[in-house]
Amino acid sequence: MNNAELYGNIPMQILEQLGFPLNYLQLSLDQKDLIDHIFDGTAEIYANNLKMQDEIYHLEDKVADLQHELNNLAGEK
């Protein structure tokens, strides 16, 4: 995700309370610098978290498959 997409995930009420525009493209230069500084590296972290979450789901499926096979070998259902 880029900074504009991350900005779009900020709840509208918070942006209104801060006096920030609802759209990233409408930020002043100072506001944009602040947001970009806050989100610096966040997009990469977010992408890595998604990859890790996918891997966790994959491993959970593998564990369930192995548990099912063990139950079958033990004669359980």
pLDDT, tens only, 24-59: 999 999 999 999 998 887 778 888 998 999 999 999
pTM more than 0.85: no
CB 35 within 8 A of CB 18: no
| Residue 10: count of CB within 10 angstroms of its CB | 14
CA-based nearest residue to 4, from 31, 16, 18: 31
DSSP-derived secondary structure letter, 41: T
Q: Name, in order, each residue with C-beta under 8 angstroms of 22's C-beta and a sequence gap of 6 or more.
A: 12, 15, 16
